[in-house]
Amino acid sequence: MLPMKSRYGLKALVHLARAGDGLPVQTATIAQVEGIPRKFLEAILLELKNHGVLASRRGKAGGYVLRLSPADINLGDVIRVLSGPLAPLPCLSKTAYQRCVECADERTCAVRTLLADVHAEALRIVDGTTLAGLVSRMNGVEQLSPAEEARRPEV
pLDDT at residue 155 is higher than 50: no
pLDDT of the residue at 142: 54
Quick check: 147 pLDDT over 60?
A: no
Q: 33 falls in which pLDDT band (50, 70, 90)? A: very high
Contact (Cβ atoms closer than 8 angstroms) between residue 130 and residue 70: yes
* All structural domains of the chain: 4-66 (1.10.10.10), 70-151 (no CATH)
Burial class of 8 by CB neighbour count within 10 A (0 to 12, 13 to 18, 19+): buried
CA 54 – CA 51 distance, rounded (Å): 8
Q: What is the pTM of this model?
A: 0.82
137, pLDDT greater than 60: yes
